[in-house]
Structure 1
Amino acid sequence: MQKTKVLFICMHNSARSQMAEAFLNAIAGDRFESHSAGLLAGELNPFAVRVMAEVGIDISHHKSKDVQHYLNTEKKSFDYCITVCDHASFSARCPVYPGRNIRIHWGIPDPSALVGSEEEKLAGTRAIRDEIKAKMEEWIGTLP
């Protein structure tokens, strides 16, 4: 059986799209081939790494990639492209991957925009992680 190919896209591929990619691979990697990218490559968010480790998923080895990586080097096509930009970025700059794919948008806050103490930023990133997981499980549940 051929796996359904999914690309998660956000602004910098530093947290939201990385967490989404990892969750899909962990939850349903037998059915899906999951990837992630950003409009621009950034640095992996250390809070995202920490909160994913808390649920047993190691993303510390992930590298941030931009969408050109898949357009130029991988030349991949995807069945689904899911943008995970927050609602403010979605209308202004959230990237779109070209080609024949089903496009879905999940408006998810950007962990890099969180303010406060380290513990407050961790708590905020945990909430974002949990929101991504819930959206993932809901979406998977709608598919045949």
Structure 2
Amino acid sequence: MCGWNSIRSPMAEAIAKRLLKPDIYIQSAGVRSGERDPFVDAVLDEVGLSIGRHQPRTLDDLEDDFFDLIVTLTPEAHHAALELTRTSPVDVVYWPTMDPTATTGTREQVLDAYREVREHLWKLIDKRMKPIRRHSAEGA
């Protein structure tokens, strides 16, 4: 979960779906829904991932509202998740993740910022979810 569900949380969703078993429910959402970001598609494509037809969404847009874990990537999302789960037995974890849209410069410099976010999320997901990973993802 992030602020707009347009960069960080869709990247995390795509990575988690690659690394984790297919029977695990994984969906990303934002506090608000933003606009799809083409740089996300570019940096995910570099590692063979895609967010498909993903359109930014909020928690209210999700089909299932039962979660064991909510990973938040921004302070705003963390606050919203804690508020949402006050009376639920849901783990809420905060992984501070930079906003690559703050990067200025050449197209390549901007892409590097998005790549940094992708790699940051990949490492965190891989480490936290190691017990439930797919066997085929271990070399990824």
Calculate the TM-score normalised by the size of structure 2: 0.83
The aligned counterpart of 1:101 is 90
Whole-Å separation in 2 of the counterparts to 1:31 and 1:65:
22
Is 1:58 aligned with 2:47?
Answer: no
Instruction: Give a deviation string over 1:96-138, Cα, whole Å, max 9, x none.
Output: 1433311111000012222222110001110110010000101
Distance 1:60 1:34 in 2: 14
Deviating 4+ runs (over 4 angstroms): none
Q: 1:81 aligns with which of 53, 70, 79?
A: 70
- Aligned partners of 2:20 and 2:132 also within 8 Å: no
Q: Deviations over 1:56-113 (max 9, x none)?
A: 011141110012213xxx252101000011xxxx1xx223143331111100001222
Consecutive unaligned residues in structure 1, runs of 5 or more: 1-8
Contact 1:45 1:112 in 2 (8 A): no
Cα distance in structure 1, aligned partners of 2:47 and 2:55: 20
The residue matched to 2:109 in structure 1 has which SS? Answer: helix
Instruction: Return 5+ residue gaps in structure 2 as ranges.
Output: 134-140
Question: Separation in 2 of the partners of 1:52 and 1:12?
Answer: 18
- Which residue pairs with 2:136 in the alignment? none
Instruction: Indicate if the aligned counterparts of 1:41 and 1:65 stay in contact, CA closer than 8 A.
Output: yes
CA RMSD across the alignment:
1.8
Pairing partner for 2:36 from 44, 55, 73: 44
Is 1:111 aligned to 2:103, yes or no? no
Query: Which of these residues, 120, 123, 134, is aligned with residue 131 of structure 1?
Result: 120
* Paired residue secondary structure (2:48): coil
Alignment partner, residue 16 of structure 1:
8
The answer for the alignment partner of 1:4 in structure 2 is none
Q: Which has the higher strand share?
A: 1
Q: What amino acid sits opposite 2:51 in the alignment?
A: I
Q: Contact conserved, 1:82 with 1:106, CA < 8 A, in 2?
A: yes
Q: Please name the residue that 1:27 is paired with.
A: 19
